[in-house]
Amino acid sequence: MARLVMKFGGSSVADIDRIQNVARHVKREVDAGHQVAVVVSAMAGATNKLVEFCRAAAVLHDQREYDTVVASGEQVTSGLLAIALQALGIPARSWQGWQIPIVTSDQHGSARILDIDGSRLVACFEAGQVAVIAGFQGIHKETGRITTLGRGGSDTSAVALAAAVKADRCDIYTDVDGVYTTDPRVVPKARRLDKIAFEEMLEMASLGAKVMQVRSIELGMTHNVRIFVRSSFDKPEDIDPHRPPPGTLICDETEIMEHEVVTGIAFSRDEAQIAIRNVADRPGIAAAIFGPLSDANINVDMIVQNVSPDGKTTDLTFTVTAADFERAKATIEKARDSIGFARLDTAAEVSKVSVIGVGMRSHAGVAASAFRALAERGVNIRAITTSEIKFSLLIDAAFTELAVRTLHSLYGLDKS
């Protein structure tokens, strides 16, 4: 008998038919003798509608009331799934985040989980009951108000709950059947991975892969929660609950016998480049540039600095998300006097392509072969950043798919 947390995203609970399909997935695990808790998202599109209601009521609205409104989507889904399970003869009860309770910070709209008391869920397990929990939400202990965890927060809820109840694994059911070496829509030969290390998955998620939320993977890595990414659209009756589940296991790298040099290729088209030209090369200049950006809550990613031959001036180039591009330009222009730059050059049509793999730690020349292969295909590299298990390249957006396909083939990821 295993203790499982099963999480179902918005596309998996989009309507009553799909909710009933989810109920059959849950019943399969219960019938196999497993203790089960389920975390659900709002029905597909429901959160967007609730957000629109808030904006229609007032463009500048109270974030505390915003959380109250948008958290209701998961409340509906949890109740409906509990009803569907009861119709199949499975004892089930819905729980909201504040009833567990999932205690969070008071940063409404993007709260962080501080503590979860898993005793109520353990009591459900011991009573043979399935707990159906509304994801994406919690409660601030001091104010007693509902909070939400940000988009994709149900993944975080599920992994945190799995850690709190010491679950054997956390199954993330979604509309894909696992984690792939890259986006199959760009590279049809992309392969589903059987296993991927937490660190690799964290890099892939933060660099453009949309399978899971970054914070949920961080939690899994911190608490060593084994996570399976699998499809909710597989027929429940075709899956043997006593065998390893179909999909991709995200786990500690010690569980992976032999690492490939490169595990996957991630990419993001949501990038923009800003280059500040002829800045005085003196102490404090970086703070003068990035301090105002931080104050404006603008995240900066790739940073490249080039010092002039005489050592007096420098060019400093960095990237931001496309959504922050205009605000970032305006912020830098506003700080022109304190920075003292000669010119601001920008580019909005750029993409970031990243090569990821823990095997890079023990192999030399991985990046050099990528530079050579891209040069042969006429792809110019604007900027490069590296870490122990990945390197990222900034290129013109028009070459994104060509670059991804070239690198995917270069590292043998096409091979089954």
- Find out whether 290 is annotated in a ligand binding site: no
- Find out whether 10 is annotated in a ligand binding site: yes
The Cα–Cα gap between 48 and 53 comes to 9
b/e sequence 81-103, b meaning 16+ C-beta within 10 Å: bbbbbeeeebebbbbbbbebbbb
Stated length of the chain: 416
The Cα–Cα gap between 406 and 117 comes to 48
Work out the number of other CB atoms within 10 angstroms of the CB of residue 245.
19
- Find out whether 156 is annotated in a ligand binding site: no
- Find out whether 284 is annotated in a ligand binding site: no
- Find out whether 47 is annotated in a ligand binding site: yes
Q: Which residues contact 109 (CB under 8 A, 6 or more apart)?
A: 63, 66, 67, 148, 150
- Find out whether 175 is annotated in a ligand binding site: yes
The Cα–Cα gap between 37 and 122 comes to 9
Q: Coil, strand, or helix at residue 105?
A: coil
Decide: 226 and 250 in contact? Cβ < 8 Å: yes
- Find out whether 66 is annotated in a ligand binding site: no
Nearest to 65 by CA among 152, 179, 143: 143
CA dihedral in degrees (306, 309, 313, 318; nearest 10)?
-10
Nearest to 278 by CA among 305, 302, 318: 305
Element (H, E) at 114: strand 113-116
Q: Which residues contact 408 (CB under 8 A, 6 or more apart)?
A: 181, 182, 187, 189, 190, 265, 414
The Cα–Cα gap between 4 and 170 comes to 6
Work out the number of other CB atoms within 10 angstroms of the CB of residue 30.
22
- Find out whether 233 is annotated in a ligand binding site: no
- Find out whether 8 is annotated in a ligand binding site: yes
Query: Phi first, then psi: what are they for 15, rounded to 5°?
Result: -150, 180
- Find out whether 199 is annotated in a ligand binding site: no
The Cα–Cα gap between 70 and 148 comes to 8
Decide: 395 and 354 in contact? Cβ < 8 Å: no
Q: Which residues contact 238 (CB under 8 A, 6 or more apart)?
A: none
Could you tell me which residues are annotated as the binding site for substrate? 47, 74
Could you tell me which residues are annotated as the binding site? 7-10, 47, 74, 174-175, 180, 185, 210-211
Could you tell me which residues are annotated as the binding site for ATP? 7-10, 174-175, 180, 185, 210-211
